Structure 1
Amino acid sequence: MSTLPEGIRGTADPLFAGTARVFARLFDSYLRTGGALSVYLRGEPVVRIWTGTADDAGAVPWEFETTALSFSTTKGVTALVIHRLVDRGLLDYDTPVAEYWPEFGVGGKHSITVRDLLAHRAGLSDLRPLVHGAADVLDHELMEQRLAAATPDWTRGLPVYHALTYGWLLGGLARAVTGSSMAELFRTELAEPLGLSGLHLGAPADGTPVAELVGPGVSATGTGLGRPITAAVIRLPLVGTILNTMHFTGAQDALRGPAPALSHSENGAATGVFSADAIARVYGVIANGGEFEGVRLLSPRIARGLDRYTRTNPDPSRLAFWQLGYHPLPTLGAPRGFGHLGLGGSGGWADPVSGLSVGFVHNRLDMFRLPMDMSLLSLVLPSIARAAGVADAGPGAVRAA
C-alpha cells in the first residue's frame, strides 16, 4: 500500500499513488468538503480513499461507508437494473413499452420502445405538463401514472435529456414486468447479489451514514434574485427546453436541510444515495463482462452491448448520446470508457477494455460553480488510466488495496 497524502484516509496500491495525490489536491484546494473515490482494476480494489467531513458544520468525519445523494449518477444504476431484466427475457430493447405497460400506450406513445426510454428519445422530458408542485415530484407512483397518460412533445425521437422523467419512466416499466418498485429492484437485483451496503434509491432506512449537502448554491434559485432569473431563463428557447426537464416549483426547498425531501423520494433518475465503493463495484459488472467478484449479473452478450458505440443499436445513423443509459466521458489521457455523471460531479465510470471501474462521490452542491464541478471526475481519470497502463505492463504489478 502507498503512503497517502495528508488528510486522506483509506488505501491505494502504490501504482495509483498519483491518483491519491490528484484526489487530495482536488479537495484541499477546490472542494473543501468531503468525499470518496474507489477504483477497481479487473475486479481488484486498487484505490479506496476518502477525506473531509460529511456535514455543513464540518464536525462529522467522512467514512468509508458514508453515502451521498448522487443525483443523475443514479441513472446508470437504474439502467443496469433494466439490462438485468432484458437479460432474463422480461424485456426486449426494441419492443414497444406499451406491450409491457398497457397504460402507457395512449397519447401517441404506442411506438416508443424500451431502447427509446434508455436513450432519452421518448419526448417526455418536459416537467411543466406533469408537475404542479414539489409534492408531485416526491410521489413516484403518481408520476409514473401521469407519464403513462401523457402525450410526447416535438422532441420525440431526439436525444433530449430526460433529467427527472427518466427515472419514473423506467420505474413504471420495471414495475409493470416485476411488480416491484425501482427501490426494491436496486436491492434485489444489485445490492444483495453484490453484497453492497451503500446502494440505495432514496434515503437508506438501515442507519447508513448520509452526507449533508453543502454549498451556497443549494438554495440559489429560491433567493429573491434567483427566482426571477430562473423564471426568465426557462423561457429561452433552447436553454429553457433543457431547464424545464429539471426545474419545478419548490425545487430549492426539496434540497434544503441535512435530510432533504428529495432524498426521501424514489426516482431512478436522481435520488440514488450511494457510497463511492458501491458505485465502483456496480460499474465493475460492466467493466468485467457482466461478472464481478464471482457474481454474474449480466451475460457476456448483454455486457458487450453497453459500450459507448452501442453495437446493439439497429440504426447507427441516429443520434444516441446516452446509448443504452450511459454516456461517453472522453478525457485527455483517458479517451475510452463510459458511465454517468450526476449534478455536482459525482459519477460512475467503466472501461471494459482495461477492466477499470470507478466510483466518485462528494457532498458539495454549488450551483455557481456547477460547470467546473461537473468535470471533477475527468480530472481524476487520466491518473487512473495511466496507472492501469503501467499495471498491464507486467504480471502481478497490482495488489489488492
Structure 2
Amino acid sequence: MEDSAFPALRIEGHSDERFTAVRDAFEANFRERGELGAAVSVRVGDEVVVDLWGGWADPGRTRPWERDTLVNVWSTTKGPTALCAHLLVDRGLLDLDAPVAAYWPEFAAGGKSAVLVRHLLSHRAGLAGLREPHSAAQLYDWKLTTARLAAMEPWWEPGTQSGYHALTYGFLIGEVIRRITGVLPGEFLQQEITGPLGIDFTIGLPEKESARAAELVHAQDPADGASLMAQLPPVVLAALANPAVGAAEANSSEWRAAEIPAANGHGTARAVCALYGILARRGLCGDRRVLSPEAAERVREGQGACRDLVLGAGFAQDTEVGLGLWLSGGNASYGPNPRALGHDGFGGSCGLADPEADLSLGYVMNRMGPHIADDPRKMALIEAVYSSL
C-alpha cells in the first residue's frame, strides 16, 4: 500500500477474502487516525482469518513493524492475568467467594477482612489506587507495593460499586496467585499457558527479547491537562496518576524488567488473539483444553452494572465488569453482542472474545491515543470484523 502521507508504508500478512473490510479499516487507521505501527489478528473458531501488521516500530520510522514485533499492551494484560486466576479456580485452589485474607492474611488490615476474591477480579475491592504517594520506582518493587495495598483502607465499601483498578488490579490478583502457587503471575502464566501453547506473550519483557520490542509514543497531552487533572476526584487521581506512567516509563528497561500484571504484558496481536480466544472457544486453544467450559463462562459473570467510580465519565452508559474482563454491554465496546467480553489497554490496544460468534481479536499498536478505552482505531476494526461475519 502506498499513500502520499505515508509513501513507504507497507501492510503485510493476510486476510481472508470475506474480511477485506478489516484490512480496509486497518489501512484507514494509518491514513486517517494517526497510526504509526500496529498489528491486528482475528480468529473465527480455530482459524486465523486476519493476521496483519504494518508501519513502524519506532517514531523515527527506521524499524519496520515485523511479524514478530512485540509491544507493551498496558491493561490488555489484565485478560491473561485473569486467566491465571480462573485456572486456579478451575483446579479447586482458589475460591471466588472466599475472603482474600484466607490466602493473604495481611490483607485483612484496614477493615478489609470481608473483601472477597471476586471483588478483586471485578474492580470492586475499593483499592483503585494507593492513598500515599507511590513512585514508578516503588511500583517496580513487588513487596513494597503489595504491602501498601494490604495495609490501606478502601476508598469505598467493597462489593458495592466498581472503580477501575488500573495498576493495583495486577498486584492484588497477582499476590493471591503468588500465595497459592509460590510464583509470580508472569511465571505462572508462562509455565501453565503461554509456554505449553507457544503463545508469544510475557508479563514484563525478558532482556533477550528487547530487540523485538516496539517503542511506544505517547499521545499529545492537552494544553490544559494539568488543570484538568487538578479537578479530578482523589480516587481517580489515585487510580490513574499515582504513579503517573506513560510511554517514557513503558519504554524503560526498569519497566520491562518489573512484574506489573495489570499493565506491562508484551506480545503480538496474534498472541493477544490466542489468549482471548481461550475464552471465545469456551476454554479451548486448538485441541487443548485450558479451562473447563464452566470456568470460561464464569469469567463473564456480570457483577452489576454501574457508573464506574474512576472511568464513569468516559462512557455513554453504565458499564459492567465480569470476573476479570469487561462486558460489551450497551456501549458495544466489544461489538454488538452485549455479552461479548474483553479488555482495552491504555492508548488503544485490545483483546476481545465473543463465545456466541466463536470469535476473538487482538489489536496492538505503539502510537498511544488519549483514550483509556474504546479508541477509534479499535472500534473501527471491531465494526469491520462484525460486518464481515
TM over 0.5: yes
- Residue of structure 2 equivalent to 1:135: 137
Q: Does 1:147 align with 2:149?
A: yes
Change in 2 beyond 3 A, CA 1:4/1:14: farther
Aligned to 1:171: 174
Deviations 1:4-52 (A, max 9, x none): 9982100111111111111111122222300100001101111110000
Q: In structure 2, what residue type is equivalent to 1:243?
A: L
Q: How does 1:44-63 map to 2 (within 5 A)?
A: 44-63=47-66
Q: Is 1:290 aligned to 2:283, yes or no?
A: yes
Alignment deviations for residues 304-333 of structure 1 (CA, whole Å, 9 cap, x no partner): 2223xx16x5xx688872111111235399
2:297 pairs with 1:304: yes
| Greater alpha carbon shift after TM alignment, 23-32 vs 85-94 | 23-32
**Residues 79 and 257 from structure 1, CA distance in 2 versus in 1: closer, same or farther, beyond 3 angstroms?**
closer
Q: Which residue is equivalent to 2:336?
A: 335
- Partners of 1:291 and 1:151 in 2: how far apart? 39
> How many pairs align?
367
After superposition, the Cα gap between the structure-2 partners of 1:233 and 1:206, relative to the gap in structure 1 and judged at 3 Å, is same
Among 82, 96, 101, the residue aligned to 1:93: 96
Q: Which residue number in structure 2 is paired with residue 376 of structure 1?
A: 377
1:116 aligns with 2:119: yes
The reply to whether residue 34 of structure 1 matches residue 63 of structure 2 is no
> Would you identify which runs of 4 or more consecutive aligned residues in structure 1 move more than 6 Å?
3-6, 317-320
2:273 counterpart (280, 287, 308): 280
Query: Match of 1:186, SS?
Result: helix
1:7 equivalent in structure 2: 10
* In structure 2, distance between residues paired with 1:256 and 1:82: 27
Amino acid at match of 1:146: R
**Deviation of 1:250 (Å):** 6.2
Q: Is the 8 A contact 1:42 1:288 kept in 2?
A: yes
* Aligned residue runs from structure 1 range 179-218, under 5 A: 179-196=182-199, 198-207=200-209, 209-215=212-218, 217=220
Deviation track 1:42-77 (CA, whole Å, cap 9, x = no partner) reads 011111100001012101010111111111111111
Note if 1:236 corresponds to 2:231.
yes
**Gap runs ≥5 in structure 2:** 4-8, 308-318
Q: Structure 2 counterpart of 1:166, which letter?
A: Y
**Partner Cα distance (1:170, 1:317) in 2:** 21
Distance 2:30 2:198 in 1: 29
Shift in alpha-carbon separation, 1:25–1:169, aligned structure 2, 3 A: same
Over the residues paired in the alignment, what is the CA RMSD in angstroms?
2.7
For residues 353-372 of structure 1, what are the structure 2 equivalents within 5 Å?
353-367=356-370, 370=371
Q: Of the candidates 242, 245, 248, which is equivalent to residue 239 of structure 2?
A: 245
Q: Is the 8 A contact 1:201 1:268 kept in 2?
A: yes
How far did 1:133 drift? Answer: 2.0
- What secondary structure does 1:345 align onto? coil
Q: Please say if residues 215 and 364 of structure 1, whose CA atoms lie closer than 8 Å, have aligned partners that are also in contact.
A: yes
Equivalent pair of 2:45/2:359 in contact (CA under 8 Å): yes
| 1:363, distance to aligned residue in structure 2 (A) | 0.1
Measured after TM superposition, the shift of residue 137 of structure 1 is 1.1
Q: Return 5+ residue gaps in structure 1 as ranges.
A: 389-401
SS in 1 for 2:154: coil
TM-score normalized with structure 2 length: 0.87
Partner amino acid, structure 2, of 1:180: V
Checking the alignment, whether the CA contact within 8 Å between 1:348 and 1:358 is kept in structure 2 is: yes
Alpha-carbon distance, 1:359 to partner: 0.3
Q: How far apart are 1:204 and its partner, in Å?
A: 2.7
CA distance in 2: counterparts of 1:294 and 1:4, whole angstroms: 40
Instruction: Tell me, in whole angstroms, the C-alpha distance in 1 between the residues paired with 2:232 and 2:174.
Output: 30
Structure-2 residue corresponding to 1:82 = 85
